[in-house]
Amino acid sequence: MQAYKRRSRMHRLSAGKRIALTDRDIELFKLLNRYRYLRSNFLYSFLGGNSETRFKERLGHLYHDGRYINRPPQQWQFANCRHMPLIYELDDKGEQVLRQHGLIQADSPLLSKGRAGACRQFAHELMICDCIASIELGVREDRDLRFISWQEIIAKAPEMTRSLHNPFELPVSISHAFSNAKDVQRADIKIVPDALFGLEYTGHGQKSYRFFVLEADRGQMPVARSNLRQSSYLRKILAYRAIATQNLHKSHLGIPNFLVLNVITNERHMNSIMALLDEVTAKKGSQTFLFKSISTLGDFRMAPAPTPHILTAPWQRVGCDEFSINKT
């Protein structure tokens, strides 16, 4: 009798198994269309089941035999990749299934690709997905909250925005007076949030809404540069302040408000950015920018578990009290 050969984590090897798709498989494809990447432990937290082992076996069948989902090869660059939960993305065949079920809007090329914001390096994109998926999982545990995905926001955005190649790209004019310069420097730039989502709050029989952009930083973004056309956190701060002042979030995205969630893997780097914001606001502080340091999101020796406390634990602010985004 031939011994069973364990299939590779890194390469497809079909066993000829016929795949009959289930409702949970369709929900899996929808999640991977909403999130660029999701780890197997996050997928299990979303979809559940009697056995996590059986769930991971099903993921293997959908990858090896069905070719509905893919394991992005970038994950093999991490030294401990063989001992961490596998990372998945939607493959073309899985996207085709969603189209057949009418679950992808054919008139929106962005929605069909499942990109939830700016296109970054793999580790950065994965951090973005870890953050937002953790928040959504936290929302599912609170009956008074509903998660509003980027897809729902864009679907209700102004028609002109929906027709753009990248509706997340916001053009904005910024200016800043550097201490060592004689004149105010101005620049017309385009900013793309790392992610966008909203929360619907239900209390006392009424609903209210709050929207968020995410900026995820692995400690690699320069705090400030002397040229506003170069990427820096100063540039981001100026851009979001200008967006709020010019009401671009309303005219471009159709959302009534927004807060900027800054998740940073290095606490010292976060403190430097908060000090910069204090300087930019002339020590008046800001209610718009919220900060949280989570070092595990930048540690690829072991994969982070779903982290709902990103939702429930208070966020730091500059010149203002801490703020809980899960409370109205």
| pLDDT attached to residue 115 | 47
- Structural domains in the chain, CATH included, are 9-104 (1.10.10.10), 105-328 (no CATH)
How far, in Å, CA of 164 to CA of 296, rounded? 36
Question: What is the pLDDT at residue 205?
Answer: 87
What is the b/e burial string over 178-205, where b = at least 16 CB atoms within 10 angstroms of the residue's CB?
Answer: eeeeeeeeebebebebbbbbbbebeeee
Tell me how far apart the alpha carbons of residues 147 and 152 are, in angstroms, rounded to a whole number. 10
Q: What is the pLDDT along the chain (328 residues), one digit of tens a residue?
A: 344 457 778 788 888 889 999 999 999 999 999 999 999 999 999 999 899 999 999 999 999 999 999 999 999 888 788 888 999 999 999 999 999 999 886 555 444 444 444 445 888 999 999 999 999 999 999 999 999 999 999 999 999 999 898 899 999 999 998 877 677 999 999 999 999 999 999 988 899 999 999 999 998 899 999 999 999 999 999 999 999 999 999 999 999 999 999 999 999 999 999 999 999 999 999 999 999 999 888 677 777 888 888 999 999 999 999 999 999 8
Q: Are 211 and 198 in contact (CB under 8 A)?
A: yes
Adjacent-strand bridge partners of 260: 213, 289
Q: What is the DSSP letter of 247?
A: T
What is the DSSP secondary structure assignment for residue 11, as one 8-state letter? S
Q: Is the distance from CB of 189 to CB of 242 less than 8 angstroms?
A: no
138 by DSSP, 3-state: which? helix
Half-sphere exposure of 270 (CA within 13 A, CB side): 22
Q: pTM for the whole thing?
A: 0.91
Instruction: Say how far residue 237 (Cα) sits from the centre of its chain.
Output: 19
Q: Where are the alpha helices (DSSP H) in the chain?
A: 23-34, 40-47, 52-64, 92-100, 109-113, 122-139, 150-155, 159-162, 233-245, 248, 267-280, 309-312
